[in-house]
Structure 1
Amino acid sequence: MTEFLVKEGVKNLHHKGEKLITTHCCYCGMQCGMHIRVNEKTGNVVGVEPRYDWPVTLGKMCPKGVTAYQTVDHEERIKTPLIKKNGQFVKASWEEALDLIESNFKRIQNEYGKNAVSVFGGVSMTNEKCYLVGKYARAVLGTRFIDYNGRFCMSSAAGGFMKTLGTDRGSTLPWPELEHTDCFFMAGSNTAECHPTSIQWLWKARDKGAKMIVVDPRETPTARIADVHLDIRPGTDDTLASGMLHLLIEHGYVDETYVSARCNNFEELKASVEPFTAKYTAEVTGVDIEKIEKAAHIYGRSPRSVVMFARGIEQQSKGVDNVTLYTSMALLRGQIGKFASGVATFTGQGNGQGGREHGQKADALPGYRKIADPKAVEYVSSVWGIDPKEMPQAGVSAYEMFDEIEKGEIRAMHVICSNPAVSAPNLTHIWNGFNKLDFMVVSDFFLSETAEFADVVLPATSWAEDEGTTTNLEGRVIRIRKVKDPVGESKPDWEIMQLIAKRMGKGHLFPYDNPREIFDEFRLASKGGKADYYGITYERIDKEDGVFWPCPSEDHPGTPTMFKDKFGTEDGKANLPVVQYRPSDETPTTDYPLYLTTGRVVFHYLSGSQTRRTKFLMEQCPVPYAELHPELASQYGLTNGQKVKLTTKRSDMILEVRLTKAIRKDTVFVPYHWGKELAINQLTNAALDPVSRMPEFKVCAVKMEKA
């Protein structure tokens, strides 16, 4: 076991009979620093201590991070392979499970072609594993059908950044600089609940006089501390951002020198936002005109400002448009590439940044190369040791893979570290797809809702039982350290893929003995790409508390601040967009008169597969609920705690009512961390953004009736 024990200054955290191993939390993109407490005799994980010297979170942890260790030795961990017989899972040996996988994958591909087997990945894994998922799908299985759960999380941010800035890195500045920011413009992010340990930086800045503007249909804990809360009508972010751009131009807040030297398309953008006056913006968004104008003046006059956003603006069928428009606010102000200024998106999953850079996306190869680029295919093929002609073409997005199942094109699927049976939209379609597959394999460490559909479940290790790296929301590559040996017969995902590769006659492509060897290969595979990790080593990460990509050589300092001199586009200039308002795919009608939107709560994480198995977290929030304004509830004769039936064009479900004045009167909010009959994604809309293929989780039309 590789151990990295805590520094001299924090030895007082030791408990007798225990050792501390330094690592990072397994949950969100903050990747909070922590010391895991391990019993020296049993080797079991028994607790956690915050890491006060971690520069991003400075010892802060949220309820999920404090309890994350409790899932490692949880009684519900899968400890042996499981095979479904007569509808029931029975324990099996690895040989039995691998025999079944080999025979079915080979049979299906022989009968229907290579693409009949698909891979659905995830980004709650290390960079090493995420990189191998892409190689496993393309070089071992030879399938073009690979995508991942980041399609439901970060894809619109990625698409928007690529269109405007030419490079997709979630934050253009390092997080500690936020303390020196003068204005935060936050859209679609309930940071106080979703990324609680980031709030300290906002408070430090507020203590120095910084202003804060929050865009959200709900008066969330984040919105309550804002100077201006823009209580937007769901699905109208493009109008609000266009209105802000209009006002920045109208009031002379544009940094003309910066825009002239570093941006394309300003005159076209200016013409496109001309109709978006404060009056028109207020009419479309439902926000008071005075608040819109106040927000524009605060943001426009701030010397240092950061535009921050998250899933609220991204999980829409026009999420990429939203990102390009909000990003353009920072460009017009000349803020990107400067100290304590720029744009940042709050990464949802722990490795949401790194996991999308190195080959899990349907159209991407390591280093953020495009699979449609022959030179990229030739280079990555040379690293992998395959003929470029063997590289499959681009596949389809995560949700669209279930359309391919429906058409009979995909007959088998290997799901790795993901739970789309909860996290995908229009879940009936997803569930029907799983049932239609000829064969299904799931690698996980709990029997998730997705795993229940599988024919074979392979026991994977938890984050504390393997080594590797992740990339946090800043773009800082950090180390995850092995804390204990795997429980039972569980194996790391990289080793599982290696075993299947050998069975498929491709073992020579997976010659690894440890994650460091994988990391060194993927450093090489990323070399020269937009997301260049070549100069990052385990030793540098330990010494420097993480290294920011791009880092093209070992003597390169890394890139904490992006775009100081040029952008990632061909000509080095940012591309300002021309975007016209278009409504969401669904807006309220007579039959479905309300907006439905979804989101997180502080006590749960994504599909809840881990947090719903943590006693304390479940005690705090055991079931989902429908959050309503009291005036809306009274129209339906509803009181707090009563049951309500919500119905969309896709399905219906019954939930408990929770009354609050902190929400628009035309909107219902439901958290999404539960599965089966409690999964709100039964109701959400799968309308896809034309660029990112992100489903429209955040906006759909719903009708409500007393249950």
Structure 2
Amino acid sequence: MTSHWCDFQNADVIMNIGSNSAENHPVSSKWIHKAHERGAKWIVVDPRYTRTAEQADIYCPIRSGTDIAFYGGLYNYIIENDLWQHEYVLNYTNASYLLDPEYEFDPATGFFSGWDEEAGKYSNHSWHYQVESETVWDTSEGGDYAWAVAEGVPEFTPPVVQHPKRDMTLQDPLCVFQQFKKHYSRYDMDTVCSICGMDKETLELVYSTYASTGQPGKAGAVLYALGQTQHTYGAQNTRAMSVLQLLLGNIGVPGGGLNALRGEPNVQGATDMGMLVNEHPAYLKWANTTDRSSLRKWLESQTYSDGYYTNKPKFLISSLKEWFGENATVENDYGYDWWPKVPTSPDFTMMSTFELMDQGVIKGYFNWGMNPCHSAPNAGFVRRSMAKLDWLVVADQVATESATFWKAPDMNPEEIDTTVYFLPCALIYEKPGIILNSGRWMQYRNKAVEPWDMAKPDYEMCDLIWREVCRLYEEEGGANPDPILKTKWDYYVDGKIDPRPVAWALNGYRVAGTECNTTSAAPKTDLLPGYGDLKADGSTACAMWIYSGFWSNNDAPLDAAEQPIGRRDNSDASGIGLNSTWAYAWPNNRRILYNRASADMAGKPWNPEKVLVEWTGDKWNLVDAADFVAAKNGKPVPPNDKAFFMLWEQNGRLESYGMADGPLPEHYEPFETPVESNPLNGALNSPCMQFARNESTRKGDSAEYPIVATTYSVTEMWQTGGQSRMCPALVEAMPSQFVEISEELAAEKGIEKGDKVRVFNNRGSVVVDAMVTKRIKPLTVHGETQHLVGLTHHYSWAGVFGTGDTVNDLTPNVGDPNSFTPEYKAFLVDIEKA
């Protein structure tokens, strides 16, 4: 999320697309309403007429799974009507960069250049830029990169800086802008309407309204959630929104940004922590068996040639020092070889783990803080796979579907030999710790009450398991003891595991000045003020470079209230809602990312009434913490075009070589689609989607299952309902799950409001209540009537109240090739009266 919720009030136009603020993120609506009251236009693009749409100025229906067609049409409209932000796009994006001469997209096949049919994936070589010149790092004494060859820094070959060829007139046919313009010229409004299902008049109103934010000084905010991400091209949907905001100059400005509305309190924190197979905490890449199989390979493959990620060696070495402490030395590559390496095969992402269970490869499974027998796609297959495990450990607050999977209506307990261990986990109110909200604000949460009965906080359970594993290694030995016994694990206060020493580790500290495992009321710490002090020579330790600075008060290292994270000053010196003295926003207490782009090339704000940064003539006036190099060696750095310094180009990417499924977002149909052809290209589905060929997915055909279904949440229930369905008052407010269907479909099927209906496809069948409503309308797609239904997903057979069938038995276990996110938001079903 590039901004934060309070910043929504600064927008001139707000577009909810794939999100439903009023029902799923109610507090965010407070700030949308502030903008609305000040005259901002509010657009909602959604398959359903939601309560958010009811409050908005413009509602535009859309067939679920066709967002990229919508965005492509908007790009075309912006360019054809010359509504793009010229100075911003020319100087702050890669629009002027010349692409490789082999770069190509073939509309007849739907493939970009570089497709490898045998491998089933792209080579991105032809998506790169032409090179004008090259320079090397200056590692000489006093040079910018002298640190790279300093004592204690592991040897690696510094990257070569390639300077791309540019055409500042944007006329060269191989420049990104011309290729972009050519690519989306196919996305005319008639074609978009035919694919997406809205009428042309409404679409043009949406396009003209949102495109008006391309005027310098105006700002448009995109608010999205799972409606965008839970597709086989969810990452490209997110890319598409980023491209839109770059084209209009809406990234880095007050009231702009690309804003992900998180669905629960700490999703942002879990994302930061790298809770994915291939991700190291703080958005670094985990060790693997190919280009990251050794420390040298990691440093050479991951360190950027220019921009702020030239500092990746500092981040990684500091992480290794935190991981292995005094055992990590330059002689042993700081313990890098003790880290496990992610293999290229098999794939251990979430959906694949159940395939491996089904095949008998995975015999044991830790199920911690999730409920895949309810929440995973094709949940029936998940349950059947779990039945083949030898053992399963579930850590949760209540006995979820995953903790009691053998009790499912379709399971026979007599045929299941899995031993299940249930670890009761403390609720959020029963433990202290750090939490991050959607706006990247870090806050400390104090414990309200003691854990109930035998429940323990997660970190206490981890500590018990860890200490027992170490005891067994010490007493009995075992394979590969070093990664276990040489790991630093000293997060104790008075002999008990404690989140505060963990906070020191996340913040970062100078190794020589810090003593952990403290029994002192005033422990010795040398906590760092920020990530700018991290070193690659082993003298600093830091588990999360992006968080550095949030816990930096050495005078009170055990007092959260005295740390930046504990600030509770709600005054606002900015006058535009930055609230910089409330809590701490990573990175570096920066409230709006890429804020250099809020000012023009001379450093003057596009909107002088909403200043984030401003060049005064001899220095920068920083209302927000600078997301660029504002000073170097104590001297101010005058304005330049480096507005996105987390990229090596330091310009935003309209075209990107970093995606697995194409350099530009291109419309493909979902895994299951009601249509037989794609009018924009010769490929019906994305060739890169994951798991589509697995036998377990059981793809449905529109001849049998002609109705598009999507899933969504209701305000009264939370996630899989484990906690909320245990509360009778909430179940009384929302007593059962339902399928939302149009009056037209209800008439066609002979269904009335309140009827029990069966919703089914190749993967499963569920019985739910019918909600016949005007909020969903049939759409006209390629000249044919297309019905859509919406399903709530919080209910299931486990628990005491609010029981029912598991709706995710219907969703397909296919995923995005970049994030491996499942496709919950567009699949095929049929319905009938039960």
TM class by smaller structure: 0.7 to 0.9
Give the counterpart letter for 1:205 in structure 2.
A
Say if 2:322 is the partner of 1:201: no
Match of 1:534 in 2: 548
Alpha-carbon distance between aligned partners in 1 of 2:76 and 2:719, rounded to the nearest angstrom: 36
Alpha-carbon distance between aligned partners in 2 of 1:489 and 1:275, rounded to the nearest angstrom: 62
2:319 touches 2:544 (CA, 8 Å); kept in 1? no
Q: CA deviation at 1:407?
A: 2.5
Alpha-carbon distance between aligned partners in 2 of 1:250 and 1:323, rounded to the nearest angstrom: 23
Match of 1:380 in 2: 319
Alpha-carbon distance between aligned partners in 1 of 2:427 and 2:705, rounded to the nearest angstrom: 43
Match of 2:698 in 1: none
Root-mean-square deviation (CA, aligned residues, Å) is: 1.8
Out of 788, 792, 805, the position equivalent to 1:667 is: 788
SS at match of 1:436: coil
Alpha-carbon distance between aligned partners in 2 of 1:621 and 1:502, rounded to the nearest angstrom: 44
Q: CA deviation at 1:409?
A: 2.4
Alpha-carbon distance between aligned partners in 1 of 2:351 and 2:360, rounded to the nearest angstrom: 15
Alpha-carbon distance between aligned partners in 2 of 1:654 and 1:300, rounded to the nearest angstrom: 44
2:506 touches 2:545 (CA, 8 Å); kept in 1? no
Alpha-carbon distance between aligned partners in 2 of 1:254 and 1:630, rounded to the nearest angstrom: 41
Say if 2:342 is the partner of 1:431: no
Match of 1:559 in 2: 590
Q: CA deviation at 1:517?
A: 0.7
Query: When the two structures are superposed, what TM-score results if normalisation uses the length of structure 1?
Result: 0.73
Task: Show the 5 A alignment for 1:31-430.
Answer: 170=1, 172-264=2-94, 265-302=176-213, 303-372=218-287, 373=292, 374-375=298-299, 379-385=318-324, 387-394=335-342, 396-430=348-382
1:381 touches 1:391 (CA, 8 Å); kept in 2? no
1:127-158 residue CA offsets vs partner (Å, 9 max, x unmatched): xxxxxxxxxxxxxxxxxxxxxxxxxxxxxxxx
Q: CA deviation at 1:516?
A: 0.4
Q: CA deviation at 1:531?
A: 5.9
Say if 2:499 is the partner of 1:515: yes
Alpha-carbon distance between aligned partners in 1 of 2:489 and 2:736, rounded to the nearest angstrom: 43
Q: CA deviation at 1:378?
A: 5.1
1:292-323 residue CA offsets vs partner (Å, 9 max, x unmatched): 11111111113111011111111111111111
1:412-444 residue CA offsets vs partner (Å, 9 max, x unmatched): 111111111111110011111221111111111
SS at match of 1:355: helix
Out of 721, 727, 730, the position equivalent to 1:614 is: 727
1:272 touches 1:579 (CA, 8 Å); kept in 2? no
Q: Specify every segment of 5 or more residues in structure 1 that has no aligned partner in the other structure, as ranges.
A: 1-169, 552-557
Give the counterpart letter for 2:805 in structure 1.
L
Q: 1:315 to 1:410 in 2, by over 3 A?
A: same
Alpha-carbon distance between aligned partners in 1 of 2:14 and 2:49, rounded to the nearest angstrom: 17
Alpha-carbon distance between aligned partners in 2 of 1:292 and 1:518, rounded to the nearest angstrom: 50
Match of 1:546 in 2: 583
Alpha-carbon distance between aligned partners in 1 of 2:395 and 2:827, rounded to the nearest angstrom: 32
1:190 touches 1:220 (CA, 8 Å); kept in 2? yes
1:479 touches 1:542 (CA, 8 Å); kept in 2? yes
1:357 touches 1:531 (CA, 8 Å); kept in 2? no
Q: 1:272 to 1:601 in 2, by over 3 A?
A: same
Q: CA deviation at 1:532?
A: 0.8
Out of 673, 678, 695, the position equivalent to 1:587 is: 673
1:368 touches 1:530 (CA, 8 Å); kept in 2? no
Match of 1:152 in 2: none
Match of 2:830 in 1: 703
1:627 touches 1:670 (CA, 8 Å); kept in 2? yes
Alpha-carbon distance between aligned partners in 2 of 1:498 and 1:197, rounded to the nearest angstrom: 36
SS at match of 2:404: helix
Alpha-carbon distance between aligned partners in 1 of 2:280 and 2:192, rounded to the nearest angstrom: 40
Q: CA deviation at 1:518?
A: 1.1
2:507 touches 2:545 (CA, 8 Å); kept in 1? no
Say if 2:805 is the partner of 1:678: yes
Say if 2:528 is the partner of 1:442: no
1:596 touches 1:669 (CA, 8 Å); kept in 2? yes
Alpha-carbon distance between aligned partners in 1 of 2:455 and 2:753, rounded to the nearest angstrom: 45
1:422 touches 1:681 (CA, 8 Å); kept in 2? yes
Say if 2:689 is the partner of 1:576: no
Q: Which has the higher helix share?
A: 1
SS at match of 2:508: helix
1:665-704 residue CA offsets vs partner (Å, 9 max, x unmatched): 2011110111245211000111111111011000101111
1:470-507 residue CA offsets vs partner (Å, 9 max, x unmatched): 11101111111111222222211111111111111157
Alpha-carbon distance between aligned partners in 2 of 1:285 and 1:434, rounded to the nearest angstrom: 39
Alpha-carbon distance between aligned partners in 1 of 2:736 and 2:488, rounded to the nearest angstrom: 45
2:547 touches 2:587 (CA, 8 Å); kept in 1? yes
Q: CA deviation at 1:530?
A: 8.7
1:89-144 residue CA offsets vs partner (Å, 9 max, x unmatched): xxxxxxxxxxxxxxxxxxxxxxxxxxxxxxxxxxxxxxxxxxxxxxxxxxxxxxxx
Alpha-carbon distance between aligned partners in 1 of 2:717 and 2:183, rounded to the nearest angstrom: 41
Give the counterpart letter for 1:488 in structure 2.
D
1:547-569 residue CA offsets vs partner (Å, 9 max, x unmatched): 11112xxxxxx110101233221
**Percentage identity across aligned positions?**
28
- Considering only CA atoms, is the larger Rg found in Structure 1 or Structure 2? 2
SS at match of 1:518: helix
SS at match of 2:267: coil
- More RCO (CA 8 Å, sep 6+): 1
Alpha-carbon distance between aligned partners in 1 of 2:458 and 2:35, rounded to the nearest angstrom: 41
Alpha-carbon distance between aligned partners in 2 of 1:423 and 1:594, rounded to the nearest angstrom: 22
Alpha-carbon distance between aligned partners in 1 of 2:672 and 2:430, rounded to the nearest angstrom: 44
Alpha-carbon distance between aligned partners in 2 of 1:392 and 1:269, rounded to the nearest angstrom: 41
2:4 touches 2:259 (CA, 8 Å); kept in 1? no
Q: Specify every segment of 5 or more residues in structure 2 that has no aligned partner in the other structure, as ranges.
A: 95-175, 293-297, 300-312, 329-334, 406-418, 471-483, 493-497, 510-529, 535-542, 552-559, 568-580, 597-642, 656-663, 675-701, 779-786, 798-803
Match of 2:127 in 1: none
Alpha-carbon distance between aligned partners in 2 of 1:412 and 1:509, rounded to the nearest angstrom: 26
Say if 2:745 is the partner of 1:632: yes
2:356 touches 2:362 (CA, 8 Å); kept in 1? yes
Match of 1:24 in 2: none
